[in-house]
Amino acid sequence: MQILIAVVFFIIMVFLMSLVWTSSKGAPWVPTSREVINTMLSMAEVKPGETVYDLGCGDGRVVIAAARRFGARAVGIEVDISRYIWSVCAVTVLGLWKQVKIIRGDMFSVDLGNADVIFTFLLQETNERLKDKLRRELRPGTRIISNTFTFSGFPLVAADDELHLYLYRMEPRIGG
């Protein structure tokens, strides 16, 4: 019984430390429902063959939905090793490794230049830090769909006030 209690305690501690650590990197992991994922991908008008990036992909549910339901290529970026392993396993079990790539790393150090759609469910302060990177790397017309938190100064294309979803489209760079 003591071993079971120790194992449960260890799992809880790892989970709590993971939440704190990932929060410092962008956001704690909060799973998004399938309904919200499908609404977000529909709002962004994801088309077959487009490339969808999920910044902080957690268990991979967004990139899996983008590939399976919308025919997109998808790239998930995850800093947490346990969620990275989970999402790689899910992609492998579902046979989506030709359509979906999971990168273990910090979203701030991954080039996002070939994205057609960026999916985010990050904290407000992380979105604010991310804006300059998105302006530098994304092509005009790239869609950004954000769950709950906004991108101030980006042109809002659509919003779902009930679900707190916000769609933006990158504008052409000034002077080029």
**Segment 24-33, tens digit of pLDDT:** 455 788 899 9
Express the helix, strand and coil content of the chain in percent, nearest 5 each. 40, 20, 40
Contact status, residue 63 vs residue 74, Cβ threshold 8 Å: yes
**Segment 87-129, tens digit of pLDDT:** 999 999 999 999 999 999 999 999 999 999 999 999 999 999 9
pLDDT at 30: 85
Q: Which residue, chain included where needed, has tokens 């492998």? A: 92
Local confidence band at 130 (pLDDT 50, 70, 90 cut-offs): very high
CATH top-level class for 30-169?
Answer: alpha beta
Quick one: what percent of the chain has pLDDT higher than 90? 79
Record the pTM.
0.84
* 53 burial via Cβ count (<10 Å: 0-12, 13-18, 19+): buried
What is the rounded average pLDDT for all residues in the chain?
Answer: 89
Q: How many CB atoms lie within 10 A of CB 76?
A: 30
pLDDT at 24: 47
All residues at 6 or more sequence positions from 26 whose CB lies less than 8 Å from its CB, including other chains? 55, 56, 79, 107, 122, 123, 126
Could you tell me the residue ranges of all domains in the chain?
A: 30-169
| For residue 49, pLDDT beyond 70 | yes
